[in-house]
Chain A
Amino acid sequence: MSLTATYRLGTRLFWRDKAMLFASVLTPVGIAVGLPTLMRHVTAEGVAAAAALSQSAIAVVLSITAFMNIGVALTGRRDQLVLKRLRCTRLTDGQILLGQMASVATQTVAIIVVCVVAVRIVAGVPLPANPVAFAAVTIAGSVVMTLLGAAYTAVIPRLELAAAYTMPVFLVCGLSAGAMGPIPLPSWLQAILDLLPTTAVVDAVRTGELAVPFLILAVWAVLGYLALRLWFRWEPRRS
């Protein structure tokens, strides 16, 4: 019941923060729908190019709506001592974090689904061939990126720097998955970037191959969980 309450609170706050809505919803949706639509109409390959870009754009949604959103939100609530106030209640630490993370992960999955449907309508990109596999990997990706975003707050010194600290993650994830267009990378670097959770999700969506991407996601989930347990801060640093 308490977990449901923190989930509801997280969802209410997600849709109420107008500044974050612009960054966490409008921007990634704009990229994930706008770029494939543009590609559909300006390139010779048309639908194929739009489909490839649409798949890559999932990395953008994951890195912004899941990772950046939870990172900025938890840093803000930590620095404004809202997390501390929540800890005055009978909620356990797990319920506080899990409710907020589950909410962000759900919004991320919903936005990915909206983008997939939108590019089907406006750019003629076919829907995923295997909807169950698509759902499984995007849900897993959203959960892992939300978990990593929560753990990442440990390195964000204060709220004013939260966006600046999360931006490089978005750039690297987008670049690695091809969402920034075909930018040639050295093969050794591409091999490393392929291990990113966002790239794993895009690879799974693109190829239908699930085993390796799920293994990569599982490793990141363990790392994120351990980092969260070890380093998550409930209050700002005492100066």
Chain B
Amino acid sequence: MTTIEVNGLRKSHQGFEAVKDVSFEVSAGEIFALLGRNGAGKTTTIEVLAGFQRADGGTVRVLGLDPYADRAAVRQRTGIMLQEAGFFPDLTVAQTVDTWRDFTAAPRPRAEALELAGLTARSGTRVRQLSGGEKRRLDLALALLGRPDVLFLDEPTTGMDPEARAATWEVIRDLARQGTTILLTTHYLEEAQRLAAAMAIMDHGVIVASGGMAETLAARSGRVAFRLPAAMDPGVLPLPVTVENGLAVCRAEDPDLAAQTLLTWAAERGLRLEGLEVRTATLEDLFLESAVKETR
């Protein structure tokens, strides 16, 4: 069942077309990652989906409703963690959660929300004294208060230390297991790769790559890299390579076979391939490939 449906979305700000003809779908209980560089149009897309902005063109549906026209109804069932939003700095963490509980139907108990976000020990601290990462965790606690069916997470772990990030990933996975549909944007490609079942890469307001995470990566080339000996012309190698910062990089569908070919070729000539690295495609490779294609 489709929970989020975006079809031909267009949105401009003061003449600048931030999102141009974007389409994707997110199924119930799925974690979907929207990736892209700064200014790619991710936040604008999420703000339209969250009902803060009206689409200029195309259709957007969340839980079958127009999030702008039916904002009140959609809000009852969605949680939102904005990339940027303020708190009341003089309230403590506990007071902030209590205040937001007043605004939420059937909210989680305060203790449960704080524990989910890993903020129990900071409940008596004023918000102005929290670190950037702790504020993100408070943000998460507020977004989860209403046990939402759909969760929008815009850069959810920015500023968090590795431990908090790992704990947040676990919370997100748990929520998805319980059936929450999650749309997240992130700069951390590792985060998207670990969490999301499906993804779309945006650049300059359009989607340049999309699909199921595992299938998309499986269809991409792997990578073999080694330090290119100083005097060597890369043209003599048995496989085509590009030279990136002194590294010879060979992209191949089967990176193990490519490495074997290169090592055999080197052994026959009594050469060593220093710093040899073999790996299958990562989201980072895909991201860089897509971005390069788009700028050409």
Contact = CB atoms under 8 A, between A and B. Distances in A.
A and B interact: yes
A113 B283 CA distance: 66
Interface in A8-52: 8-9, 13, 16-17
A2 B88 contact: no
Contacts of B99: 5, 9
B245 interface: no
Categorize the interface residue count of chain B: 20 to 34
A229 interface: no
B46 to A, nearest CB: 12
Contacts of A9: 99, 102
Interface string B83-95: 0111110110000
B94 to A, nearest CB: 14
Interface in A64-100: 77, 80-82, 84-92
Given A88-B50, A89-B75, A16 B103 contact: no
Nearest to B78: A88
Interface in B215-264: none
A90 B86 contact: no
Interface in B140-170: 142-143, 146
Contacts of B86: 77, 80-82, 84-85
B76 interface: yes
Contacts of B85: 81-82, 84-85, 88
Contacts of A13: 88, 90
B13 interface: yes
Residue of A84, A87, A88, A89 most packed against chain B (CB within 10 A): A88
Interface residues of A, number: 22
A84 B75 contact: no
Contacts of B88: 13, 82
Nearest to A234: B52
Interface in B262-282: none
A89 B142 CA distance: 9
A84 B52 contact: yes
B193 interface: no
Contacts of A6: 103
B218 to A, nearest CB: 37
A7 B162 CA distance: 39
A88 B143 contact: yes
A231 to B, nearest CB: 17
A91 B87 CA distance: 16
A17 B146 contact: no
A13 B76 CA distance: 26
Contacts of A2: 102-103
Contacts of A80: 86
Given A82-B85, A85-B82, A90 B90 contact: no
A85 B141 CA distance: 13
Contacts of A84: 52, 82, 85-86
Which interface residue of B14, B75, B88, B146 has the most chain A CB atoms within 10 A?
A: B88
B103 A238 contact: no
Contacts of B82: 81, 84-85, 88
9 contacts: A2-B103, A9-B102, A80-B86, A81-B86, A85-B82, A87-B52, A88-B82, A88-B142, A89-B104
Given A16-B90, A84-B85, A90-B105, 4 more contacts: A82-B85, A85-B87, A86-B103, A88-B82
Interface of B: 13-14, 50, 52, 72, 75-76, 79-80, 82, 84-88, 90-91, 99-100, 102-105, 142-143, 146
Closest 8 pairs between A and B when the two form their complex, measured CB to CB: A80-B86, A5-B102, A85-B85, A89-B103, A88-B80, A82-B86, A81-B86, A81-B85
